């Protein structure tokens, strides 16, 4: 018991010290489920076992989202956004969870699942490092109830590592993050993808009251004179070769 509390204290000290001076890391975990039964079992585990345990070990703001208008004929997904002070922090945490008695009891159905009754098809983990101009997780300032909100997760792919770095520069030095802030996009994070299936790419998440609010914000962005000037600069031409957009809704147990 004493060793467990020493570990918790070290994690909390690491997390506190990190957020005061450095850049956050984010892990996006995407669960792929083939039907509602799998999705419900996975959600139950996240809500009742994984998330409460992560909070006990110092991760206090965890986003949990579902795609909006998810086609019932395709794989169903569940998105977790997990802020950590270091990538090691996350993996050490999951190792500790496996020896945590309360976690084992609360998550028994999921943890002990049989090979012929899988809880999910597969999951993927994307590792990101926050941008220098927004080094820590943002908490949205929205009035609508969670079920009406829209969270927009974007991935920008580039043709090469050099071109990708120019797009990251455009957000930081170029002032794109400042523009998003001025126009009240309620950004949750901006991140460089360190490990993922679509590299080189960056990802970021913004949030809105509803889909109409989202559309109006983007109209303002595109019409803004600062954006027109920034996007016309020669050094930032052709920095994005593919854009992927996912609209998400927070679950009732999400912290964001």
Q: Give average pLDDT by consecutive 10-residue segment, the chain, 256 residues.
A: 49 46 91 95 97 94 90 80 90 89 96 94 96 96 93 98 98 98 98 97 98 98 98 97 97 96
How many whole angstroms separate alpha carbon 212 and alpha carbon 210? 6
Confidence (pLDDT) at 199:
98
Confidence (pLDDT) at 87:
85
Residues 160 and 184 in one domain: yes
Q: Residue 162 domain-assigned?
A: yes
Residues 116 and 136 in one domain: no
Q: Residue 255 domain-assigned?
A: no
Residues 93 and 164 in one domain: no
- Under 8 Å between Cβ of 62 and 51: yes
Domain count, the chain: 2
Confidence (pLDDT) at 73:
55
Range of the domain at 87: 2-127
Confidence (pLDDT) at 94:
86
Q: Residue 27 domain-assigned?
A: yes
Confidence (pLDDT) at 11:
52
Phi, psi (rounded to 5 degrees) for 137: -60, 140
- Under 8 Å between Cβ of 174 and 236: yes
Confidence (pLDDT) at 90:
84
Residues 138 and 222 in one domain: yes
**What is the distance, to the nearest Å, from the Cα of residue 77 to the centroid of all Cα atoms in its chain?**
14
How many whole angstroms separate alpha carbon 145 and alpha carbon 149? 7
The CATH number of the domain holding residue 46 is: 3.30.70.100
- Under 8 Å between Cβ of 196 and 87: no
């Amino acid at each position: 018991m004493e060793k467990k509390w020493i570990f918790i204290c070290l994690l909390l000290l690491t997390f506190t010290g990190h957020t005061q001076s450095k850049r956050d890391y984010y892990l996006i975990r995407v669960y792929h489920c083939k039907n509602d039964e799998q999705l419900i079992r996975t959600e139950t585990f996240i809500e009742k076992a994984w998330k409460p345990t992560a909070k006990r070990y110092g991760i206090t703001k965890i986003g949990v989202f579902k795609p909006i208008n998810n086609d019932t004929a395709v794989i169903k997904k569940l998105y977790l956004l997990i802020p950590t002070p270091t990538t090691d922090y996350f993996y050490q945490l999951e190792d500790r969870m496996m020896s945590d008695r309360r976690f084992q009891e609360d998550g028994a159905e999921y943890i002990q699942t049989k090979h012929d009754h899988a809880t999910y098809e597969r999951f993927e983990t994307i590792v990101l490092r926050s941008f220098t101009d927004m080094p820590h997780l943002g908490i949205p300032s929205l009035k609508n109830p969670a079920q009406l909100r829209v969270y927009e997760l974007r991935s920008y792919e580039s043709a090469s590592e050099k071109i990708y770095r120019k797009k990251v520069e455009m957000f930081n030095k170029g002032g794109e993050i400042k523009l998003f802030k001025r126009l009240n996009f309620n950004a949750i994070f901006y991140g460089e993808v360190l490990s993922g299936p679509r590299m080189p790419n960056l990802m970021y998440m913004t949030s809105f009251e509803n889909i109409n609010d989202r559309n109006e914000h983007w109209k303002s962005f595109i019409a803004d004179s600062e954006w027109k000037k920034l996007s016309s600069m020669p050094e930032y031409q052709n920095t994005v070769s593919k854009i992927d957009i996912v609209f998400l809704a927070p679950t009732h147990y999400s912290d964001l």
